[in-house]
Copies of this chain bind each other. A is one copy, B any other.
């Protein structure tokens, strides 16, 4: 089912039931709904990288929030592709098209533009749970120190870029490096992280998962990060939690392109989401 034509505005409050966490996510991201699947947000400093450009985690969070608002269903998967950058103050327009709307699941495409140029594109599925449908977690949670016993951490960045004070997305999230309480697989990095004042909704999990390239560089014995080509998130059941354990798992790099995953856990041991990412690697040492 396609969404309504753009010249026939609909009231999203009546046309589509809102997801429970929709208002909180849109408040965090500054995302305004305009009806008919359309929305927009102003790129503010907490939604950027250290260099003041759009942060990848922001894009996937916005895509998830837009897909949920367009369908009234909880996001289950989202992939966001980055094609152009944007600067602080830019107003980015998002169009969520519902390409299929089944009894339980919807398939959505979100296109974000700035002056006619595509900044990011996303594909996403939202779905209502099937009563009695298969439910379970098939992976063990890493055993590490609690967030109370873990130390503040800053993501690696070149000295000339890393500001003294929290800057860009660091204003929105908190990260603590945990210590392992067991021998993990080689290359694994584990952090505690949360968005300040926000629960771990699908959109917030997307924002938090954008850290995989750090682990790829470290697995290679280097300090570095990456320019994401995409961010992907697969989402599990809801949980009333803010702190999330991010287990980063580097997979491989070839000719400067790196791949890896991020498993996001609640403090209680629930697997909340699985992120994955391909990026053009940047090494700082």
Chain A interface (Cβ within 8 Å of chain B)? 76-77, 79, 81-84, 99-100, 104-105, 107, 109, 118, 121-123, 125, 127-131, 133-140, 185-187, 216-217, 219-220, 222, 224, 229-230, 232, 234, 236-237, 249-261, 263, 271, 274, 276, 278, 280-281, 283
Q: Are B138 and A254 in contact (CB under 8 A)?
A: no
Is there an interface contact between A83 and B99, defined as CB atoms closer than 8 Å? yes
Contact partners of A230 in chain B: CB under 8 A: 77, 79, 123, 125
Residues of chain B within 8 A (CB-CB) of A222 are 134
Q: Which residue on chain B has the smallest CB distance to residue A215?
A: B138
CB-based contact B138/A278 at 8 Å = no
Extra contacts, 16 of them, besides A76-B257, A129-B255 (Cβ < 8 A), are A77-B278, A81-B99, A82-B107, A125-B229, A125-B230, A129-B254, A130-B255, A130-B257, A134-B283, A135-B253, A139-B185, A139-B187, A232-B276, A234-B251, A251-B263, A251-B271
In the complex, the answer to whether A276 meets B278 with C-beta atoms within 8 Å is no
CB contact between A219 and one of B81, B138, B232, B250 (< 8 Å): that residue: B138
Q: Which residues on B sit within 8 Å (CB–CB) of A185?
A: 139-140
Which single member of B79, B216, B280 contacts A123 (CB below 8 Å)?
B79
In whole angstroms, what is the CA distance A255 to B134 when docked? 6
Contact B83 A136 (CB under 8 A): no
Whether B81 lies near A278 (C-beta < 8 A) is no
Whether B255 contacts A133 by the Cβ 8 Å rule is yes
Chain B residue with the shortest CB-CB distance to A108: B81
Given known A187-B139, A276-B234, contact A259–B229 (CB-CB < 8 A) = no
- A83: chain B residues at CB < 8 Å are 99-100, 107
